[in-house]
Homo-oligomer: A and B are copies of this chain.
């Protein structure tokens, strides 16, 4: 037996799979499944194959009664449906009778079926039924699933996914991730199951499907788990010997080499630059020039000598110097030929604004363009995009209007409509942006390329992405894992629901994955998921403003008890908990507030208090090292008007920061319309503040916490 250093007998698995492949089968029989389990150390019940009723009886006695009997036929996959399973056979007579019935049923079910015999299996049971499985996800490749077995969980769909292979720590986290995880610890006096054994099963199964990619699906269902065992009572394997080709991968150096030339180009050619107002080729050159881009700009237009004051060239090949980026503003049908010229010129990136490719059914034209790009080592952004912005270079390579509020947030969108919302929202809120990028049809450059670039880009400190699918989920996860320890990655995944997924399908032709798979795996990668468009924009705007929290102790200080209640609700909703303020700190807060102010957390300073009460309590919260984040609730009164509150909070926070105390502070402002200007003032001074909502500031703080936990800062 050729076991490896991991204890796995890969040769045994190979032999079983080779036989199945030779026979043209896409599933395994129960004995073959057992062989795989044995080879990878997955515990299964004792069992043997009986060829007649007498043999069945003697095997049953040998294994120990009671037993289960199951038909063995390469032609019968659904054994129960075929009347091919009997359980709880406790006497030799019952075993003999069951053998006969099973074979008869199988013959009636499928007269053509080859019947190899009946498997006699030790009957296991008791303990808790769980499900452990593996499948091949179109986005993420091999994934493993864990859930409780049984009727209820089938209905409630309480399962957790992870990328395969999983480590033991991953597997333990996965097991703890199901909603009903408490059941594993024993309820109503039952004993806890051994989570380590279950984690071990997950690891072994995930190794098996990773080592043998042709295993498309594997179910261990049910697994009977108890305090001292975990046995897979039934196994099912589905094979696929012709899996889909994985997407092309680039190395980190290759990606950064291209991306640095694309985002920081020394020169840009505009293919189809035009003097005619209203044309895309006119908007693009105007935006690049008017936006303040300092590099060389080369209009390419066979019919003009000059475009927007710059010398025009018939072809990009005629440009005297090097060209880093070519922006295409010509109809789809001219792209392949002009891209070939750009490739020969040695451009790093082709920005394909034109539509009329895969999104309108012209998949072949898109493939042809991609083939041209690959031939010349040119990376493509698009097609079917509004272009891209990179504010550190004052670069607005787009037909939309320029954007000039520089800052730390990089935003990307798969859809042009969402890109326009990003632009409008950013402008309206004066969000500091490093980049806005449309990825459109993602013929080539996709989110993992952009993550790799923005992850190491000193001008970017948060990345917010709208996406409808991932071309290569595994590459995205790898890129995200690199970035998350350094800066937040926020993702709005559209097509969460099956209705949304159907709409996504018709939009991009992309296969939308099951949302629970995305949810679990993006979380595992440390991504902060935005539930909707507004949150994507809001998190993108606010997360770079807030410092990272250094602990979990959140304190609410509020002038309105009513806001305190709503803020407390929001704290729980967003995965945080209120710090139980210790007596000495409670007493210190109480010294500043009226005697009827509420004890504990929220600190309710009550409504009619002067600015000094806000100031003293907030300063105390900032200076006490046991407090890690502050949520402020402001109530508009004549005694402390909104801008007075905003200025005093900004001052107290600035003083603390000057003293080296850098805690996240968010605020909810309740009051008349003056609270809008007060909120804006606070935001500009590093306090994330909103009027007329108790939910939004806490949601943003919750997102910052989710990131900080994923980044390993807490």
Contact = CB atoms under 8 A, between A and B. Distances in A.
Interface of A: 148, 150-156, 158, 179-180, 182-183, 187-188, 190, 278, 355, 359-361, 400-401, 413-418, 420-421, 423-425, 427-428, 466, 468, 492, 494-500, 502-504, 506-508, 531-534, 537, 556, 558-573, 577-578, 594-596, 598-600, 602, 604, 607-608, 633, 635-636, 638, 670-676, 691-696
A351 to B, nearest CB: 18
Given A417-B607, A420-B671, A569 B499 contact: yes
B596 A424 contact: no
Given A502-B568, A561-B417, A569-B497, A360 B596 contact: yes
Contacts of A359: 561, 596
22 contacts: A150-B152, A155-B182, A355-B607, A360-B594, A401-B672, A416-B607, A417-B560, A417-B636, A420-B636, A423-B672, A424-B674, A468-B565, A494-B565, A494-B566, A495-B568, A499-B578, A500-B565, A500-B568, A500-B569, A507-B565, A532-B693, A532-B695
Contacts of A361: 596
B569 A494 contact: yes
Given A154-B187, A416-B607, A569-B497, A564 B507 contact: yes
Contacts of A633: 417
Contact of A562 (B154, B417, B564): B417
Indicate the member of A359, A425, A692 with the most B CB atoms within 10 Å.
A692
A565 B492 CA distance: 12
The quantity of this chain's copies bound in the complex is: 2
Contacts of A560: 415-418, 420
A506 B596 CA distance: 10
A694 B497 contact: no
Contact of A424 (B190, B572, B671): B671
B155 A532 contact: no
Q: Which 7 A-B pairs have the closest CB atoms?
A: A415-B562, A417-B560, A500-B569, A360-B596, A507-B561, A497-B572, A506-B598
Contact of A183 (B152, B425, B564, B600): B152
A83 to B, nearest CB: 13
A517 B154 CA distance: 26
A424 B691 contact: yes
Nearest to A693: B534
Indicate the member of A400, A608, A672 with the most B CB atoms within 10 Å.
A672
A620 B258 CA distance: 48
A400 B564 CA distance: 21
Contacts of A420: 560, 635-636, 670-672
